[in-house]
Amino acid sequence: MERNVTLDFIRGVAILGILLLNIVAFGLPKAAYINPAWSGSVSLHDAWTWAVLDLFAQVKFLTLFALLFGAGLQMLLHRGKRWIQSRLTLLALLGFMHALLLWDGDILLAYGLVGLICWRMIREAPTTRQLFNTGALLYLIGVGVLLLLGFISGNAPNRSWVPDLANIQYEQYWKLNGGVEAISNRSDLLSSNLLALGAQYGWQLAGMMLLGGALMRSGWLKGQYSLPHYRRTGCLLIAVGMVINLPGIYAQWHLDWSYRWCAFILQAPRELSAPFQAIGYAALAYGFWPWLSRWRLVAAITCVGRMALSNYLLQTLICTTLFYRLDLFMKFDRLQLLALVPAVWAVNILFSVLWLRHFRQGPVEWLWRQLTARAAGVSLKPSAR
């Protein structure tokens, strides 16, 4: 099957964009990920960094990646049940090991588990419209559950929102020292993440996968519409998303990131805006592709997208080494952490370009495909790598 180069580029943008937020999760305590006032106070430049990222990146690139994952499920349907189930089960196992042994911010386990449900829903949907509508409904249910959690939560700050000094020191201790203590804590966090996946986030993730499947089935994610259509749609959707998100950003800042409102209820505008902006970003890539495709940097980012899984894990290896092995954890604020991102991007890009000069797939992608074939009882051509 001929690769969709534009789709590879968008996937590369998503993988690189995810690091804009993940760098905070690597370099600061877990509470800092969505709460700039996690330490009890916040500097002005830290607050502005949070606000800009919240408007343009927070959740947006994860949502874009989920959309592309659903599109990939639609493209894999011709492989059949055994191949898809084997592939997703192996992804879930990889995610479990990644979350337990390396980093508590893993997304692969969630994608594997939810994908095992969603691929059947994509296959069984009788029409593209019904698939799209079901995806939108599931996503809205997830946002509704988030609001419900906000209304029933108490007013007392949660330790995961504003941790005390003892909790911060303990988190620093187990992350820097690793070993059994770190695995035990990552196991606890994994349990909490799975609970959140089943109760709330899984609805949104499933919704985006179905939307991605619908957009691929319709031909929209294959680039089959006109360039003016993609440009108009992209600009409109991004504008709508920003209009939805901005009041939430203002309100969180105005309320000094109060736990009850900002940990749940005021997350909803961001979650509602994310699909609009994510699809808008994809639309602009298609709409301006004749010009973008001339740039060497775009070709390099396309290579990153072809090796998305390898690059995602490479980011973990780089960042856990920097922050936990070289003792850079909690040494930088949010804005300073962003200055490290281009260096990691450069490694992702260089690695991808050099690797794909010699091989057709990334190393983890190749291994994933080989193990999938063995689990599904399918023989592969020798040239698959």
Residue by residue, pLDDT tens for the chain (385 residues) are: 568 899 999 999 999 999 999 999 999 999 999 899 998 888 899 999 999 999 999 999 999 999 999 999 999 999 999 999 999 999 999 999 999 999 999 999 999 999 999 999 999 999 999 999 999 999 999 999 999 988 887 666 677 788 989 999 999 999 999 999 999 999 999 999 999 999 999 999 999 999 999 999 999 999 999 999 999 999 999 999 999 999 999 999 999 988 878 888 999 999 999 999 999 999 999 999 999 999 999 999 999 999 999 999 999 999 999 999 999 999 999 999 999 999 999 999 999 999 999 999 999 999 999 999 999 888 777 654 5
Alpha-carbon distance of 261 to 255, in angstroms, equals: 8
The structure tokens listed for 6 are 């534009």
Give the containing element (helix H, strand E) for 228: helix 227-254
40 DSSP assignment: S
79 touches 38 (CB < 8 A): no
For residue 155, the model assigns a pLDDT of 66
Select from 82, 73, 23 the least CA-distant residue to 208: 73
Alpha-carbon distance of 134 to 228, in angstroms, equals: 28
Alpha-carbon distance of 271 to 146, in angstroms, equals: 10
CA distances from 262 to 25, 166, 248, 252 (A): 18, 23, 9, 6
355 touches 362 (CB < 8 A): yes
Q: How many domains does the chain have?
A: 1
Range of the structural domain that residue 11 is part of: 5-384
For residue 332, the model assigns a pLDDT of 95
Alpha-carbon distance of 324 to 127, in angstroms, equals: 49
Query: Which single residue is written with the structure tokens 């690797």?
Result: 355
Instruction: Centre a 10 Å sphere on the Cβ of residue 2 and count the other Cβ atoms it contains.
Output: 4
The structure tokens listed for 198 are 């089943």
For residue 384, the model assigns a pLDDT of 47
305 touches 11 (CB < 8 A): yes
Instruction: Centre a 10 Å sphere on the Cβ of residue 188 and count the other Cβ atoms it contains.
Output: 11
Alpha-carbon distance of 244 to 135, in angstroms, equals: 20
| CA 298 to chain CA mean position, Å | 20
For residue 377, the model assigns a pLDDT of 85
The structure tokens listed for 314 are 């490479």
For residue 259, the model assigns a pLDDT of 86
